[in-house]
Every structure is written in structure tokens, then in C-alpha cells.
Structure 1
Amino acid sequence: MQTLTTRELVIDIPGRPDGYPLDLNIEPGQIWGVLGPNGAGKTTLLHTIAGLRAPRSGSLLLGEQSTAAMKRRVLSQQLGLVFQDRQDGFPATVLETALIGRHPWLSPWQMESADDVAMAERALEALDVLHLKDRLVNTLSGGERQRVAIATLMTQAPHTWLLDEPTNHLDLHHQVSVLQLLTEQARSGRSVFMCLHDLNLAARWCDHLLLLFPNGEACWGAAERMLVPSALERLYDQELLAVEVDGTPLFVPRKG
């Protein structure tokens, strides 16, 4: 497992001046949460790290190698992305969709093996959607489709997991089960880097946080150093009440 590093990285948001350069070290075993209001650049950052958008300046490294110099197939073995929203381009079953995750590991025209199918089925079972494996994805609910997307990433088995709002559309039970799964992946040595809207989920599950402000300012570090009410109130332009539950801070909006 390798460290994913951003060096003086400035994401490209049209119409916005250069933001604060990001120098992040996303190390194996860490769970990062990216917090910020709408329009702060969370999704743009995730897509830039995944290689889908070019940065305005700066670079990305996996270990000592520039990701820009890596072949797409090799990079996809290292980095995997769950989008916030997705479009189903053609009819496919849940199992067929999960098997897409094996494509970076197959040579051109190579068919999935029995081991690949078993791997996909284990991922679907972990996300509680194995019973839907023969259903067309476009017939599923939003929460079911989200879990299939995460199962597809699990089937891909990259070293770094990039997730844009992984708890989107999920009920409370499945939010917890997905975040427990991500914690297990980190404990196995993988890196998790995810954008979240729910401040309290980030406080509960992330060990590192990146705060992105609308003006391009940013700060990052260990979660306990980032979870400062004054900084979070400025981040969201919202007064907060802070309490502690089982040793974890909990933030509640103050009534106006």
C-alpha cells in the first residue's frame, strides 16, 4: 500500500481565483473526511485526485510516482471512485454492474473468472444487496443503487477508496454498516478519502479531516484538531452547539 500525496495542488474551479495549495499525505489505514458547504470544491477535488480533471497547478503522487504518468488501467488498480450521482448507460444486472469493478485487473477481451464472480458476490453480500443480483440496476431504489456502487468499488479492490457522499440515499442502518465497512477497509491497510455533508458522521468515523471553505481557503489535520466549533461555524456560516456523546463530539445547529 502506498501513500497518496498532493503537492501544492490547486483544483480548477472556473471563475474562482486560485485556492489554498493542498499538501496532503493520505496514508494507508487512514480515513479522511472532506467537509465544506455547497460549491466549496469537494467533488472537484475528488475528481481531480481520481484523474478525471486536471488540476490548475500542482501534482499528485502515489508513492514516488506521478499519477499523471501512470497508465489508466494501472491507476485504476490503485484508485477507485464512487460518484455522488450516476447514470445507468445501458441495462445491466446488479451482478454485472459489480463485475465492472474487475475490469482494471483483466486484459483486453478477457472474461471474468469464477473467482471474479465470487469476489463480486462477496462484495454484494457485504453491502446487503446479494439478493438483488439478478435485478436490473435501473429498477432499484436510490439507496440500493448506492450500495451496489460501493460493492462495485469493493470488487475493484483499489488501494485508495475515493467516495463522494457514500451515505447518500442510505437509511440510518445502512449508513452505519457502510461506514463500518470503510473502517474495516482502512484497518486492512487501505486508504479512505470521502466527501461528507454530515458533520457528525465525519466526527464519528474519520481520523483526519480536510475543511474546504468557499473562498478557496483550506485547512486539514487530525480530526480532533479540526473539530473546533469556531472553525466549523465559519465553514458552514452556522452557529453550532457542541456536546460530547461516548467521547465523540456532536454538533447541533443553534436555533436562530
Structure 2
Amino acid sequence: MNLLQASQLIIDIPGRSNGRALDFTIEPGQMWGVLGPNGAGKTTLLHTLAGLQAPRSGEVKLGDHLLTGLKRRQVSQQLGLVFQERQDGFPATVLETALIGRHPWLSPWQMETGDDQAIAEQALAKLDVGDLADRLVNTLSGGERQRVAIATVLTQNPHTWLLDEPTNHLDLHHQVSVLQLLTEQARSGRAVFMCLHDLNLAARWCDRILLMFPSGEACWGPADQMLVPSVLERLYGQKLITVEADGAPVFVPVKG
């Protein structure tokens, strides 16, 4: 079963040649990590897969349907997005923000029910922000806001998660708890596709890797085939030392 598929997809980055067309399928149970230096196009790819930005060429399918042929409400029932940066359009409490995740499942002008509120409260508790339910989001720290954003998608309950730096602003404990939550989502039959900067988080948590080079070159496949030191050194322009810890590779940059 294909949840999300890119076919001959070339993302639109001004000033860059086409590069390699992307052909990959996101399936239930998979944890994808997208790696690459700044400017490689990771965020643009995420926005393109979500239908927020048109590709230069190629297509994206959500299940059996072209993404462009679906209404936004249909897309929102299947895709959940966590952006790297967010702007608060209007003052809202943490609970009100989490309840936005239920909107794709409500008819126009329908109010949230008690069941919707219970789902949102459970999601906030899972992200360790349940005690902040009555706080205004714009009074929270960066890490708290990030966890509220993830709780909102958990409230939404999509089958595919698209996340841009989900561990951004999080301390070590909450990085681990968020990645454990995403792993649980994948194990329950959903899929996770996330852009990361931390090689070691990708090595620890992801089973599929997509490498994006600033030139437009790209390669993807099982994590153990992609996380090759010689390729990663070329990707980042940085020498690495590789060691193993708890059954997973750990990449350490070499001092210049």
C-alpha cells in the first residue's frame, strides 16, 4: 500500500538546474529521514509533497489519487505537517491550537465535540504540555511551542506525517520522547517523513534515508545503504569519524 508517492518529481528551486528526478514511495510503517546541507531543498521538498508548492515537473500521489486533484480538506485528513517555523495568526490557547487538528474532520461551521476535546487533551498529555492547556501559545518557549505543534498533528491523526526539523528547540529528553512517539506512529501503520540535520538521530531512528545535495543530486534507500561515511562526507563537505554505539553508527566530525 502506497501512502504517498513522488513520480519523476523535480522540485522548483529558483536558480538551480533540474537535478535528479525523485521517484520514491512512502509506505505504512516507514520512518524516513531527509538529510542534506542548508540550501539543498529539504523544506521545499516537504512543501511540494504537501501540495503547498508546485513542482517544476513530475507529480505527487496521495494513495491512488493525484495530490492536485484532491481538496485541501481531503489532503488534511491524510497528511499532517509540522513546520520548522510558525507564525501565530491570532492569540490562542494551547488547547485551542491543538483542536485545530480536528478541523479536517468537522463539517463547515461544526463546533468541536467533547470527544474532539478529549483527543486533543490526550495528545497534549503525550507531548508533556497538558498542564499548559490554558496558556496562550505566544507565551511559550520554543521547545514548548514545538511540542504543541506536534500534539496538534497527533490530534489530527493523519496517516502520513511530514515534519521539518521536528526536534528543533527540544532538549535531549524531549527529542527522544518525540522520536519515540513518531516511531509508535509508524509501527501502528502510519508513516513518518522528516527533514533532519542531526545524522545521529537519523541513524538511530530512521529505516529509510533520502540524501539531498545542493547541486540537485539525490539518492535514497535503506538507512544502512545510505549512511555511508564517504557519501556523507561529500554531502556535507566534512570529514567524519564513525563509531558504533548500542548497535547504531555514530558520526563525529573531525576537527579541522
Bucket of the pairwise TM-score, normalised by the shorter protein: over 0.9
User: Is 1:200 aligned to residue 200 of structure 2?
Assistant: yes
Percent pairwise identity? 77
The 4+ residue runs of structure 1 with deviation greater than 6 A are: none
- CA shift, 1:7, in A, is 0.3
- CA shift, 1:112, in A, is 0.3
**Distance in 2 (alpha carbons) for counterparts of 1:3 and 1:84:** 23
**Distance in 2 (alpha carbons) for counterparts of 1:55 and 1:228:** 29
- Where does 1:177-256 land on structure 2 (aligned, <5 Å)? 177-256=177-256
Q: Secondary structure at the match of 2:22?
A: coil
| 1:210–1:221 contact (8 Å) kept in structure 2 | yes
Q: Considering only aligned residues, what root-mean-square deviation do their CA atoms show, in Å?
A: 0.7
Instruction: Name the structure 2 match of 1:10.
Output: 10
Unpaired runs of 5+ residues, structure 2, are none
Q: Secondary structure at the match of 2:87?
A: coil
**Distance in 2 (alpha carbons) for counterparts of 1:122 and 1:159:** 18
**Distance in 1 (alpha carbons) for counterparts of 2:19 and 2:118:** 45
**Distance in 1 (alpha carbons) for counterparts of 2:21 and 2:223:** 20
TM-score (normalised: structure 2): 0.99
**Distance in 1 (alpha carbons) for counterparts of 2:41 and 2:153:** 23
| 1:94–1:148 contact (8 Å) kept in structure 2 | yes
- CA deviation map 1:176-228 (0-9, x unaligned): 00000000000000010000000100000000000000000000000000010
Q: Secondary structure at the match of 1:234?
A: helix
| 2:3–2:159 contact (8 Å) kept in structure 1 | no
| 2:209–2:226 contact (8 Å) kept in structure 1 | yes
Q: Secondary structure at the match of 1:88?
A: coil
TM-score (normalised: structure 1): 0.99
**Distance in 1 (alpha carbons) for counterparts of 2:21 and 2:69:** 21
- CA shift, 1:2, in A, is 4.3
- Where does 1:22-37 land on structure 2 (aligned, <5 Å)? 22-37=22-37
- Where does 1:83-98 land on structure 2 (aligned, <5 Å)? 83-98=83-98
Q: What is the number of equivalent residue pairs in this alignment?
A: 256
| 2:78–2:158 contact (8 Å) kept in structure 1 | yes
- CA deviation map 1:34-84 (0-9, x unaligned): 000000000000000011000000001122211110111001101110000
**Distance in 2 (alpha carbons) for counterparts of 1:184 and 1:130:** 20
| 1:200–1:250 contact (8 Å) kept in structure 2 | yes
